Amino acid sequence: MTVADYFSISLGDHEIQVPPAILDKYDRPGPRYTSYPTAPDWDDHYGPEDFRAAIAASETGSPARPISLYFHIPFCRSLCLYCGCNVVITKNREMTAPYLSRIKQEIDWVADQMPAGRRVDQLHWGGGTPTYLATDEIQELYSHIMSRFELSPEAEVGIEIDPRATTPEQCRVLRELGFNRLSLGIQDFDPKVQQAVHRIQSYEMTREIFDGCRSLGFESINVDLIFGLPHQTIESFTDTVGKVVRMRPDRIALFSYAHVPWLKKQQGSFARHLPQKLEKFGIFCLASRKFSEAGYRHIGMDHFALPADELVTAQRDRSLHRNFQGYTTKGGCDLYGFGVSAISALEDAYAQNWRDLPAYYKAIDNSSWPTMRGIRVSAEDRLRRTVINRLLCNLVLIKSEVEQEFGLCFDEYFRYEMNALRELERDSLVKQRQDRIEVTGLGRIFVRNVAMVFDSYLRQSGANQEQRFSKIL
């Protein structure tokens, strides 16, 4: 078995051949587009009063937009060396109480800005390790959220869990509270890889938690994997993929490892053991084929889902959306983020909290919202965000729909971009028809490159994106 064997990818009905020259050309740094404008282009001078004004402006819309809530719990007992998240490594359990007291204050401030009756369609706890919190702390925080917000009966209520730090009792309490979705971190089951990244997690332990959550009636369980980790090979990852397929999660996120040692210094410790480009791409091809053979559909970028999953239905209906939690069916929501480093995304603004605990605590203790930076979204930004999201989510763009929504001639307005798309069309990443831009099977692998054509900030910042974004694959 060689790397070359896996340059043919099966994604459902698509059998895709990826020439090495195309991989070399398009595997370059680029955004993941969980927002537009993307975070590197936000303004450090954007502060609390700007965000409060954005909230007030969002309340004037009719009808009122539904709400998505995100809560960042940053604590972890140990550091996984691949991690690029905002985390606090500590075994001191006394750190949680001061944090929860501040996050509840932040909840109160945001809730006080809103009229009664705005429903919450999506709620998510991430981290870090949310189940670092003790069971009574989980109940306490959830109770406070419910006292200030009205949860829709059909709401997605999700949480990220680490099988190494989650007990059956915590899972039972989460289900009783109303959580109906779990995202379960795995990354890789190979012991050599686990040792290199400091995350020891057996298949047996993971399967026990997974099966226990299934028996509790969680509606959807997602698992996270990472390809491109140190010591990974096509052969070793085949075993991990086989074990995941036997578990049969509803969704699978197959993330590309982002090697950014200039941001996360701990990643430099294993740089010489990372698989090279062709081997890494071979791992992605292998996993994609195995998931396809097991019946999973490729949603886009790094997400796979079973055919009955609502993500598949939404993509077929062209109603899929994307936010900071990835692909979602809950579009049109105002997202409010709580906790250190959390991000809020309104129709006309993005705002991020301070990234470190001292600054976050200081702001709240001084009765100031903990907004560190953000950006006002212009009419131009909204237009380009719409185009980018429709390409990323639905893999097709109907020009006349954009023209009707924004009152413009698409080909005239995007004359530069339409010329740039011709190169991608020659490379078989897109097909252009009179009223449509369609992402091809090959283009699904490089869909971020397609979206980048419409990103005006990339042109403004210059060609060198090495220090701003990780590579596509």
What CA–CA distance (Å, rounded) separates 423 from 410?
Answer: 18
* Greater model confidence, 91 or 471: 91
Task: For 397, list phi and psi in degrees, rounded to 5.
Answer: -125, 125
**pLDDT for 324 beyond 90:** no
The number of C-alpha atoms within 13 Å of 297 and in the hemisphere containing its C-beta is 14
Model confidence pLDDT, tens digit, residues 166-209: 999 999 999 999 999 999 999 999 999 999 999 999 999 999 99
Among 100-109, 394-403, 458-467, the range scoring the smallest mean pLDDT is: 458-467
> Is 154 in a helix, a strand, or coil?
strand
* pLDDT higher than 90, residue 323: no
Backbone angles phi, psi at 38, to 5 degrees: -75, 160
- Look at phi and psi of residue 198 and say left if phi exceeds 0, alpha if psi is from -120 to 50, else beta: left
Task: Report angle CA 30, 424, 467 to the nearest 5 degrees.
Answer: 15
Which one-letter DSSP state was computed for residue 339? Answer: S
pLDDT at 87 over 50: yes
- At 6 the pLDDT is 45
- Among left, alpha and beta (phi > 0; psi -120 to 50; other), residue 332 is left
The share of the chain scoring above pLDDT 70, in percent, equals 96
303 versus 13: which is more confidently predicted?
A: 303
Q: What is the pLDDT of residues 45-79, one digit of tens each?
A: 999 999 999 999 887 766 778 999 999 999 999 99
Burial per residue of 178-201, b for 16 or more beta-carbon CB atoms within 10 angstroms, e otherwise: ebbbbbbbbbbbbeebbebbebeb
Rounded Cα–Cα distance for residues 392 and 257 (Å): 20
Computed over every residue of the chain, the mean pLDDT equals 92
d(CA 358, CA 372): 13
Tens digits of residue pLDDT in 223-239: 999 999 999 999 999 99
Amino acid identity at 265: K
Kindly state the tokens that stand for 471: 């590579």
Instruction: Give Cα 67 distance to the centre of its chain.
Output: 18
What CA–CA distance (Å, rounded) separates 8 from 15? 7
Cα–Cα dist 303/27, whole Å: 18
- Residue found by looking up tokens 């949603």 in the block: 299
Domains along the chain with CATH numbers: 39-338 (3.20.20.70), 379-461 (1.10.10.920)
Rounded to the nearest 10 degrees, the angle between the axes of helix 234-247 and helix 277-293 is 30
Query: Is residue 1 pLDDT above 50, yes or no?
Result: no
Rounded CA separation 100/133 (Å): 10
Tell me which amino acid residue 323 is: N
Count, in order, helices (H) and strands (E) of the chain: 18, 21
- What are 349-384's pLDDT values in tens digits? 999 999 999 999 999 999 999 999 999 999 999 999
Angle (nearest 5°) at CA 155 between 256 and 310: 55
Residue pLDDT, tens place only, 120-169? 999 999 999 999 999 999 999 999 999 999 999 999 999 999 999 999 99
Residue 452 CB neighbour total at 10 angstroms: 23
- CA torsion 242-244-249-252 (nearest 10°) is -100
What's the pLDDT score for residue 387?
98
